[in-house]
A = this chain, B = another copy of it.
Amino acid sequence: MNRSDVIVIGAGISGIYAARELERQGKSVVLLEARDRIGGRLLTKEIHKDVEVDLGGQWIGPTQDNMYALVSEYGAEIQPAYFEGKSVISLNNKRKTYKGLIPPLPITSLLSLDRAIKKINRLSRAVVLDAPWKTPNAKKLDGITLENWMSKNIRFKKAKAIFKIAAETVFATSVADISLLHALVYIKSGNDFDCLINVENGAQQDKIAGGAQSLLKLMIEVLNTKVNLNCAVKEIVQNENGVSAICAHQTFYGKKAIVTVPPAALENIDFSPELPINKKQLISRSFMGSAIKCYALYETPFWKEKGLNGMASNNQGYISVTFDNTNPKHRYGIIIGFVVGDKAKEFVNFTEKKQQNLISKELVHLFGEDAARPIKIHSE
Contact = CB atoms under 8 A, between A and B. Distances in A.
Contacts of A284: 264, 287-288
Interface string A139-153: 100111101100100
A52 interface: no
A278 B341 CA distance: 12
A144 B145 contact: yes
Contacts of A281: 287-288, 290, 345
Contacts of A267: 264, 267-268
Contacts of A349: 276-278
A284 to B, nearest CB: 5
A175 interface: yes
A144 B174 CA distance: 12
Interface residue tally on A, bucketed by range:
20 to 34
B277 A139 contact: no
Interface in A141-191: 142-145, 147-148, 151, 174-177, 179
Nearest to A145: B143
A175 B145 contact: no
Interface in A316-360: 342, 345, 348-349
Given A281-B345, A345-B278, A348-B278, A143 B139 contact: no
Interface of A: 139, 142-145, 147-148, 151, 174-177, 179, 264, 267-268, 276-278, 281, 284-285, 287-288, 290, 342, 345, 348-349
16 contacts: A139-B176, A143-B147, A143-B151, A143-B175, A144-B147, A144-B148, A145-B145, A177-B285, A267-B267, A276-B349, A281-B287, A281-B288, A281-B345, A284-B287, A284-B288, A285-B287
